[in-house]
Structure formats: structure tokens, C-alpha cells
Amino acid sequence: MRLFLAFIFAIFTSVLDVKAEELPKVMLKMEDDTVKILKGFLRNNNKLIIEGANDIANHPNIIEEIYNYAKPERRTEAFKRYIKEFDSFVRKEAEAIKKYIQEGNRAKASIHLAKLIDRCNGCHAVFRGW
């Protein structure tokens, strides 16, 4: 039942835009989903991998919220373009992870997980000014 409610919540929230105050919750959920994918690889559990990748691929639209949440000096048009590219890239990588796991190609799926994590770190570096 708990899994069913979580699934319904994920579907419901994925079609809504997120308010700025909810952005940290969405980002934490994406972090949890990324860890779920990694756990799936470590535990040889395709179900975990697919669940995490599916949640990332269908996360709510947070582009404007990230832009508005950023420090004013970071709010450039280049940063806004980067966020859009990041969002699209992350969704595509999550879909690729699912695809390759479903095809039984863990090696390719793990390459896409590495790309996804690298891009997450890249965005945080830009966002936080590392």
C-alpha cells in the first residue's frame, strides 16, 4: 500500500510545477532516487534501478524554481539555458538507464548513471559557485 501511495504521489507531482519553497524537497527526492539506482547496481536489483531512473525521468518541472532560488549574481541567461539543458540531459540519461537495464546491458546502464551523476555535480558546481 505504501508503495502504491508513493507511486500515486509521484505521478501527481510530476505533472505540477513546483513552488520555490518545495525545490529543496524535489532535489532531495532526486538525490534519493540517484542513491536508489546505485543501490540497485550494488545489490544486483533491477527493480530499484528502474524505480529510481523512472522517478528521475519524471521529476517535476523545476527550471524556473532553480533559477529563482539561485543567488542573484548567478541569474544570467546562460545559467537559465544551462538549467534547461541540464534538465533535459538528466531525464534522457534516466531513460537510457531504464532502457539498458531492461535490455540486460548493465555496462551501458552504468555508463549513463556515471554521466547523470557527473552532470548533477556540474550543475551544483555552477549553482553553488564551487
> How is 26-46 classified by DSSP, letter by letter?
HHHHHHHHHHHHHHHHHTT-H
pLDDT digits (tens, 9 = 90+) for 9-20: 444 444 445 566
The residue that leads in pLDDT, 7 or 25, is: 25
Enumerate domains of the chain plus CATH numbers: 2-128 (1.20.120)
Q: What is the rounded average pLDDT of the residues 13-32?
A: 72
| 6 pLDDT higher than 60 | no
Residue 64: pLDDT band with limits 50, 70, 90: confident
Give backbone dihedrals phi and psi of 61, rounded to 5 degrees, phi first.
Answer: -70, 115
* Amino acid occupying residue 70: A
Residue 44 has pLDDT above 70, yes or no: yes
**Residue whose C-alpha cell is 539555458:** 81
* Integer CA distances (angstroms), 58 to 16, 70, 89, 123, in order: 11, 23, 12, 19
- Res 3: pLDDT: 52
Query: Is the pLDDT assigned to residue 72 strictly greater than 90?
Result: no
Cα–Cα distances in Å, from 15 out to 58, 71, 74? 9, 27, 27
Question: What pLDDT was estimated at residue 21?
Answer: 67
Model pLDDT for residues 86-114, shown as the tens digit of each residue: 899 999 999 999 999 999 999 999 999 99
Element spanning 66, H or E: helix 63-69
Higher per-residue confidence, 36 vs 122: 36
Q: Once rounded to an integer, what is the mean pLDDT over residues 122-127? A: 78
Element (H, E) at 84: helix 77-102
